[in-house]
A and B are shown apart, each in its own frame.
Chain A
Amino acid sequence: MYSTSYNKDHCTNELTMTMLRSDDFIIYTKEIADLERSIMEIVMLGNCGACVVSRPRCGKTTSMVYISHSLKEHYGENFPVVMWDITDHAVTEKNFYSSLLTALKVTHSARATALELKNRVLSELVTLACDTMFKKVVLMIDEAWRLDQKDFTWLMDLYNILRRHGLQLITVFFSTNELLDLKKKFKAEGLDQIVERFFLNIYPFHGVRDQGELAICMHAFDQMNIATIAGSEEPVSLKDFYFPRADKEKRFYDLTATFWEAFTNIRVDNGMTVDDIPMEFVVGSFRILLGCYGKLSNKSVVWPDYKVIHESILRSGYTESDDEKRDFTGKKRIRKAP
């Protein structure tokens, strides 16, 4: 519990900031809308797999969460969408199935053999697939570039077994561009069975690329209310809470041009080559704007101007975002030539 000295407004601020960072708040961007359509199509067609690739912090994981809910809205609450976060792992069959079982939210014994775990995975996938009449399971794999060739083989094995029983395992890989390197590697090694199953549909995912897309984000901020402790109070908009002295007619939407100008100038000033703005920095800079220049800050302003917006963007770390490529250890690679 918060101490009494920690007043209600500060508490609301903390909760709102937490909410803005969480999956409770997802902006339905144009990129998400496009990807949603594509994934819906893949699921409808029953394709084996697809890859969604982008540079870091563009919102792939968020889009994955969003689309998983969209699929449930479309196909029904029971429609199985499994989200699997790949971490660094020793490439063993046991690790593969154990990790997948964890993603399936199934507890299992550490002493179980790989075969027992595989049976458990199959049993669970069959159950999930048969829970709806569509007989499909969608597996969304985040950070898929961490998968090894053997992992793909075991995935293919699951796909084949399920297919023999009339069930479809649709795998969507979400990854940074390293996954494309993996595809090239498999292709070069003649592993067509993997490439042709999982790498046929590749969807590039971007951040905010034009002012119109940024306007959608700003409009979303206008639609958002603050998070309160009990949630029983009258809804208060972000603008009314953080900038109460501003003109009643003001909207964050009105700041779109200023935001865009600030982002553009920073990009030019820092010699950044990539022309899309990762969503992380759009939302991040907005959070900074609220938290550091809103009513609870000692630098509070009546209404944000270019200067504070520019400052917020700089503080969000946007200038560090031009990592066209990172290697597997996370180190920067040489930037592409402009």
Chain B
Amino acid sequence: MKNEILPEKREYVKRLNNGSNTPSSYTWRKGWIRPYESLYSVLRTFERLNGFSTSGVFKMICNKKQMTIDNGYINAFIYCACNGAIETTHTSSKSVSEFFSTGDENLPAFPEMNEKAQMLLLKEFYVICPECHKIGYHSWLFQYRTLKSCPIHHVPFEILHGLSSEEKVGIMDSHPMLYEIDTKKIEDVYLKILLNVKSVEFITINDYFNIREYGERLQMVPLLSLGEEIYRRAESDCPDVEAEMSSRFRKVIGSVSNSIISGQWTEEHSQNILEDTFNRNRRHKKNPFFHDTLATTLQIYITLMEMKVQYAEEPTLNKVFHKYMCYVQGVYDPLKFRKLYHPYTSEPYTLRSTANVYDLELAFINLAHLNENDTTLVAIDDHIRFQWERYRKLVMEDHIDESKAVKKLPNVAYLCMTDKDGIIHLNRIVAESVIEK
């Protein structure tokens, strides 16, 4: 036989690598998560492409046997992106978010928001762009309150009040590999309004500020430029709030004690006030949790007393300011420290009788440490001073009756934003339209 029928070096035996033969229960590619897509949209796509029922998806992802889809379920997911969800109390959202996580924390997502910031900036209903919906896409940015129409298709958003009105989408019409979505225009919106914002807290000093109504009137402007910046510091540069406030308190009390408060004011009184303010929780003595202190109440006193000292030499102004203090504290004797130091009650902060500056819930809901929360105290300080300027103008320049002037004061709130460089910005928001009313 001739050897030439077998070309040299030709391999006539093939060893094959058959790979894995394990069947998979689902098909998913991380690349199918489109830019700015909400976790809800991703979840729905996953559900659709794998032919799962909603309960089937949760059974697989969260090991939950039963899960019915309702509005609460949607709300937990529509504001979240896979790479970083805004804070939610929904127990399943964390598992779902982790399941679909791209692992890239630098991808855009809604900034972390406290509850009030969500009320201000986000729509309370699930809105869809009908054109995006047809191809199975929903962006978390659609939920931004100021965005009224789809940046891609320029059609107004439709509000879905109930899930029954959510139309089903076909597989071949919505497979992420068949339809590319040009999210550049969504990106433009993101860059315009939310760029660099890592987290947002909205601080209201009283309940008069209508958060939703103000949110509806917000314009498409960068969030960081909203309102007037009154304070900024580096995130890592926390002040020693207790030391600063104690120093400020002792200084101002020294100026006013003999003439205004009491002839027998001693260092012991000051020490009692400060201990009662900061040392309520011994475990966190050096930097107690904000809600364990009466720092907000003390801040009000400090600010008022500092202003009082400032205006002591001007009788007319002093008189008007006293009225303003009564209004702020809601009592006729505003500097008696009733709220702070009350020997017959173990819960002094329950004496909430302040008219305009009484929202001590600030302290209850705030779970961060005192030093990291100095912005709240700065906001209270600014609020009292800002409102005083308006009040003074109304009474002394516009000659409006003191009691009526109070009603004409604008409602003021504060946006506390941390940018991606770790700088905290505290911006004052003024609901000016209230004055017009």
Residue positions of A touching B, CB distance < 8 A: 23-28, 65-66, 69, 102, 105-109, 112, 116-117, 119-120, 122-124, 126-127, 130, 161, 164-165, 211-212, 215-217, 219-220, 223-224, 253, 256-257
Contact = CB atoms under 8 A, between A and B. Distances in A.
Contact of B175 (A69, A123, A256): A123
Contacts of A130: 175, 177-178
A119 B23 contact: no
B405 interface: no
Nearest to A216: B12
B171 A119 contact: yes
Interface stretch (B14-22, B142-150, B302-310): B14-22
B91 interface: no
B145 to A, nearest CB: 35
B178 A24 contact: no
Contacts of B6: 215-216, 219, 253
A163 to B, nearest CB: 11
B1 A211 contact: yes
Contact of B177 (A24, A112, A127): A127
B29 interface: yes
Contacts of B29: 127
Which 4 A/B pairs are nearest by Cβ-Cβ distance?
Answer: A130-B177, A220-B12, A120-B51, A123-B49
B172 A215 contact: no
A32 to B, nearest CB: 9
B51 A116 contact: yes
Nearest to B32: A127
B236 interface: no
Contacts, number: 92
Contacts of A257: 1
A215 B25 contact: no
Contact of B23 (A23, A65, A106, A161): A106
Contacts of A120: 50-51
A89 B292 CA distance: 72
Interface of chain A: mostly helix, strand, loop or mixed: helix
A122 B172 contact: yes
A105 B24 contact: yes
B5 interface: yes
Contacts of A66: 14, 16
A69 B14 contact: yes
A278 to B, nearest CB: 18
A216 B2 CA distance: 12
Interface string B164-183: 00000001100101100000
A257 B178 CA distance: 57
B398 interface: no
A224 B49 CA distance: 45
Nearest to B49: A123
A180 to B, nearest CB: 29
Contact of B51 (A24, A117, A220): A117
Given A23-B16, A105-B23, A215 B177 contact: no
B13 interface: yes
A272 B23 CA distance: 44
Given A106-B23, A216-B5, A165 B172 contact: yes
Q: Is the interface of B mostly helix, strand, loop or mixed?
A: loop
A28 B51 contact: no
Given A120-B51, A123-B175, A161-B172, 16 more contacts: A23-B18, A25-B14, A28-B10, A28-B11, A105-B21, A106-B25, A112-B51, A119-B51, A120-B50, A123-B27, A126-B177, A127-B177, A164-B172, A215-B1, A216-B12, A224-B13
Contact of B15 (A25, A112, A126, A211): A25
Given A123-B51, A123-B175, A69 B12 contact: no
A223 B11 contact: yes
A24 B15 CA distance: 5
Contacts of B16: 23-24, 26, 65-66, 69
Contacts of A117: 51
A130 B5 CA distance: 41
Contacts of B27: 106, 123-124, 127
Contacts of B171: 119, 122-123, 126
6 contacts: A23-B18, A122-B172, A126-B175, A126-B178, A127-B29, A216-B12
Nearest to B10: A28
B262 to A, nearest CB: 79
A28 B14 contact: yes
Contact of B24 (A27, A69, A106, A212): A106
A223 B11 CA distance: 8
A220 B12 CA distance: 5
A290 to B, nearest CB: 15
B13 A27 contact: yes
B371 to A, nearest CB: 52
A219 B24 CA distance: 40
B51 A256 contact: no
Given A211-B1, A215-B5, A27 B12 contact: yes
Given A161-B172, A212-B5, A215-B1, A123 B13 contact: no
Contacts of B18: 23
A57 to B, nearest CB: 19
Contacts of A215: 1, 5-6
A189 to B, nearest CB: 30
A165 B24 contact: no
Contacts of B178: 126, 130, 165
A124 B25 CA distance: 12
Contact of A107 (B12, B14, B24, B49): B24
Contact of A28 (B5, B12, B56): B12
A26 B14 contact: yes
A158 B79 CA distance: 37
